[in-house]
Amino acid sequence: MTFLPPLYYQPRSALDPAAAGNDAATTAWVNAVVADGGAVSGTQTGRVNTLIVALKAASLFTGHVWLYGGESDVSQAEIDIIGLTHHTVNGGMTLAAGGYTGNGTTGHIDSGIAPNSESQDSIAVGAYNRVAGAAGNATLMAITNAVTLVPGFAGAFAITDLNDNAFGTVAGGSARLGRWIMSRTASNLITLYKEGASVGTVASASNAPSASNLFFFAENNGAGGTDFSDDQIAATWIMPGRDATQSANFDAAISGYMTAWGI
């Protein structure tokens, strides 16, 4: 009789995503991170799983969400938890537990995703900016004449631009710090949400979505970038347009993840 080595009889580790009873999307993300050369602890697996389950329960598990805050693992940060797409880091960027920090001169992230991946009149973008104060450039994301989100511009308002080529301003976005969602759900209106609540709207007619990739920490001007930020960003997202209820639910889910990490 032939006996198999004891290894074949070992139960799955409690840290194995599949063994822990996690959502299939969590397992797929963990596997993608490991295949990319990264690592995911059992604690991080559980926290991401809680986020994914919350997004699915609210029917919000669509689009792309990158989590920079957490375990300071580059592969975790570069692979979005929904579409498993990879971003590309350029220039001087620093990754720490609180997220990526730009250098204000060259550092930026190419999301690899263009606005035309969503609909002309149904798109939302945003980020969690962890820097307060009026100094510096708070460009969270931008494409020339297509998309711009700059909260706390000169400490006076947020600059908003989403599938159009005309800057709007929202007085309720005068502070840089916060979890921001800029959403278009109609051909004539953009709404800016902070921590899940609307802080203002801009009446703006939509144009055909840009085919250029959205940059984080800078504006994609087609020539390497401009208006570079030195802020710290803990997460970014690109997704279909979100109404008030959806924005509140999305923010609650992201907030829960960040709170678990003390971010």
How far is Cα 191 from Cα 66, in angstroms, rounded to an integer? 22
Quick check: 74 pLDDT over 70?
A: yes
Quick check: 15 pLDDT over 90?
A: no
Quick check: 8 pLDDT over 70?
A: no
Average pLDDT over residues 199-225: 97
Average pLDDT over residues 124-138: 86
Quick check: 19 pLDDT over 70?
A: no
Where is 206: in which H helix or E strand? Answer: none
Beta strand residue intervals within 14-86, DSSP E: 64-67
Average pLDDT of the chain, as a whole number: 92
pLDDT score, position 135 = 65
How far is Cα 133 from Cα 135, in angstroms, rounded to an integer? 6
Average pLDDT over residues 70-95: 97
34-38, 45-49, 134-138, range with the lowest pLDDT: 134-138
Q: Contact at 8 Å (CB) between 87 and 78? A: yes
Average pLDDT over residues 153-175: 93
pLDDT score, position 134 = 65
Which residues neighbour 156 within 8 Å (Cβ) at sequence distance 6 or greater?
Answer: 171, 174
pLDDT score, position 20 = 60
pLDDT score, position 132 = 81
153-157, 184-188, 196-200, 245-249, range with the lowest pLDDT: 153-157
Distance of CA 155 to the CA centre of its chain: 23
Quick check: 28 pLDDT over 60?
A: yes
Q: Contact at 8 Å (CB) between 80 and 42? A: no
How far is Cα 33 from Cα 77, in angstroms, rounded to an integer? 9
Residue 3 binned pLDDT confidence (cut-offs 50, 70, 90): very low
How far is Cα 5 from Cα 169, in angstroms, rounded to an integer? 67
